Amino acid sequence: MSGEDNLLRLVEAEDGDENNYHLQDQVGFILRKAHQRHVSLFASHIADLTPPQFAALAKLYDIGETSQNQLGTLIAMDAATVKGVIDRLKARGLVEVSKHEVDKRRLLVNLTPEGREAIERLIPLARTITEETLAPLTAKEAATFLRLLAKLA
């Protein structure tokens, strides 16, 4: 073994691999992949709606009519994003919009009967998607994971 080899080993030992950056170990990268997997599972069960569109319908089903901005806050979308989502749901007749009588800035959004029928039909599928997303974990692991994930979100 040469002196150079000894020096190299010493340096590596001192560094303890700290100089080696592995993308696949970074929480951001894994988070992105886990999210991708979930979206893919979602699409395999609910082909005609995206997760954000589903989120909008589910929240409207939960709380009833609300303003576009407030809906965005509740489903974690900024104003520009939620507008696009609502526009597409409106074009498909799943939601309807109206002006707020008092505050003329606000745009009220609500489910149409078709939208209500759709979300009622889809919620059971969404439960399946949640199950499949968590399928690699045991029940106990899934509970732990959800608790910790919620802390990060």
Partner DNA sequence: TCAAAATCATTCGTATGCAAATGATATCAG
Partner DNA sequence: CTGATATCATTTGCATACGAATGATTTTGA
Q: Which residues bind to its own copies, rule: CB under 8 A?
A: 21-23, 25-39, 42, 51, 55, 58-59, 61-62, 75-76, 123, 126-127, 129-130, 133-134, 136-137, 141, 144-146, 148-153
Residue 48: CB minimum distance to DNA, A: 10
Residue 58: CB minimum distance to its own copies, A: 5
Residue 53 binds to DNA (criterion: CB under 7 A): yes
- H or E element at residue 3: helix 3-15
CA dihedral for 98, 104, 105, 106, sign (positive or negative): negative
The b/e string for 77-100 (b: 16+ C-beta within 10 A; e otherwise) is: beeeebeebbebbeeeebbbeeee
Applying CB under 7 A, which part among 38-46, 112-120, 124-132, 140-148 lies near DNA?
38-46
> Is 7 or 105 the residue whose CB approaches DNA more closely?
105
Please report, as residue ranges, which positions from 85 to 114 form the binding site for DNA (by CB under 7 A). 85, 88, 100, 102-108
Q: What is the largest CA-CA distance in the chain?
A: 84
CA–CA dist 133, 142 (Å, integer): 10
